[in-house]
Structure 1
Amino acid sequence: MEVVQLHHMKGGNGDASYSNNSFLQRKVISMTKPILKQATIDLYCAMNCPKTIVMADLGCSSGPNTLLVAATFIKMINEISLEMGHEPPEIQIHLNDLPGNDFNIVFLSLPKFLESLRNDVCHSNPSTPSCYFSGVAGSFYTRLFPKKSIHFVHSSYSLMWLSQVPQLEETNKGNIYMSSTSPSSVIRAYYQQFQSDFSVFLKCRADEMVSGGRMVLTILGRRSDDPCSKECCYIWELLAMALKDMVYEGLIEERQMDSFNIPQYTPSPKEVKNEVEKEGSFLIDCLDVSEVTWDSSTDNNLIQPKECKEGDIGGYNMAKCMRAVAEPLLARHFGLSITNEVFLRYRKIIIKCMSKEETKLINVTVSMKTKA
């Protein structure tokens, strides 16, 4: 199943939308800010005080996180130019995601965002940078921009998504992702798909970026060398449990579940490093591993929902976070009629799991520059 033109987060601004259920992803962006800042400083200094900088945020999605990196990048460039006694450069920001992304939400938020940005920046520098935004619909596993036109590339929590579900020689029976019970051929197929996709991604960016350009990528990953490690597969195993219960009760056909697989691969730092070095267009400046708890999906400033029991808020919100990510995939495969029931059961399983153990996601962040 190809997903490059189809997959997207749940759009709109409703209760179940990605826009309102992406606090965990926002936390990850905040955690990687020091790496982004260093890469921005290195770029500005290497360009010798440029007049124009072009930045691309790949897999931007929609909602409050979409413009968060752009704001951070613009403010950093403004601060650096001020410290060096230069006029801030004009900045072009390309926001990229698949055609199904809710770009309307993004563009409707731009006027308020720009006003807020000007107010923030004016406190430190009366000469505010000129910023220009564009939306670029397309897969980052293809060329998106003209040759040698991009100075800085950023992507967060996007590159673990594959261009397609791997071609499996054997049925991944009873699973929707890699697991300890998956045939070895399934594990191999997932890894090979990641290798192919990531290599294509790097080649495309190498063509598009200027010499000495910088790129910062944060990918949902794992520390372990085991691709079926609990630290990267557990969240999908819990969703598989909900689906298997529905198969047992006759609400879903077994063949439907056996033909459904998540198009994702969570790489280790070693695998990321190997692919970058093998492709050969980039030099790694920093390779970092961090972790974020499932509780990070909760915004503590929001009022707890009435239907959520005391102590269950973390699991309730993690289930909503995963629904915003996975519902489009499930609805396309199983149909819309089963999604409410699936995620109701999934929520109960997640809440029970989080009450018994500490649950975390692992992030792999790599900062690199193009070879001269």
Structure 2
Amino acid sequence: MNELLDVLFASLRDGYVQVSAFVAMTVLAFGLVQYRTDGALIATIEDNERLQVLFGGLLGLTPGCGGAIVVMPLYVRGTVSFGTVVATLGATAGDSAFVILALAPEAALYAYAVAFAASVATGYLVDSVGLGVSRVDAAVARLSPAARPDGGTAVNGSVTPNPAHDYCGPAPTHAHEAGPDRRSRVLTPLSHLAHVTWWGTAIAGLGLGILYLLRGGPEVALTVGVGFDGLFTVVGIAGAVLSLYLYLIGRHYVGEGSVARARDSFRSAYDALTHAAMETSFVTVWVFVAFLVYEYAVLLTGVNVATLAAAAGVLAPIGGAAVGLIPGCGPQILLASVYAEGGLPFSALTANAIAQDGDALFPLLAVDARAAVVATIYNFLPAVVVGVALDLLWGPVFGMAEFGFGVL
């Protein structure tokens, strides 16, 4: 029982410090750009249909998942193509990028450049010729009829947006009310206090998360104190609990009650702060669930997916891509740490970089599960092809099949 509780608290803590704090700052940065430019960023993406896939790939390429998370609501809104979703998720570097950038910058440069090129090419192919999207969509529908609505449309001859997705009744998804939908003498001020306190934990969590990555992702003791381990635990659990409160209760009394939706613009900096906090809290809930499922699976079965990938030999790229299928950044951070320790070939790192969707998949899973599954399939296929090609064709020539390529 004690071990199960340790996993519970560690998942809360790690999910917040290792993932949510970085997501918060990235989403806030995009929100502030939207505020300062009065919505010009999203308008540019929406108005340049033929460049949407490229924009999506560039947003996904930013370290962390915040840039990719910005794109997912635009697909839900119906203003970017399904190929844009595929390119964004495929190029997503996730929070594991911070580990690789700190410990193996040369490997990061090559891996993410390859992932960007492969993902953008796949996205344009999906939009231009379909690549059998409708067939994959239909197969997913047969396997899981509950995963609705459509997972993307095959586009005939040109890059065009998908038909609008309406998840909020008769009103279009971009016309949601930003303000609070409930008032309370107690819960309204309490929720604003929780919101402000949450940002304090986010800033502290970001600092602790950067230190954690610079130290190479070490094991952190679950303890309370003024040292690194103690602050890591206190800030992480406090931030996670505040995130759960904001997602379940606070958003109705502060604002942004409708999460996983794109915003055209923001009325003030505080409005952008509120949006970023609520979107991140929404992601935190999914990250916590993913961490918990993964950690309990490892605890109960004793299987270590990163170790299996390392032992796969020439099949290591397939193992790296398979790890990338797991939603969230936790397994990807683990795999990146194994690579930085010389336990994986570069081909496996690159395959994982293409296949992983990071935390950006969570908002899409929540509102369009079939689209999330189909996009994941389309990321996995080029990840395997590129990873195996790197290992067999270019690995022996450029040393990319070696363990520890580019590690400092």
Range into which the TM-score falls when normalised by the shorter chain: under 0.3
TM-score between the two structures when normalised by the length of structure 2: 0.24
More strand by share: 1
More helix by share: 2
TM-score between the two structures when normalised by the length of structure 1: 0.26
Higher relative contact order (CA 8 A, sep 6+): 2
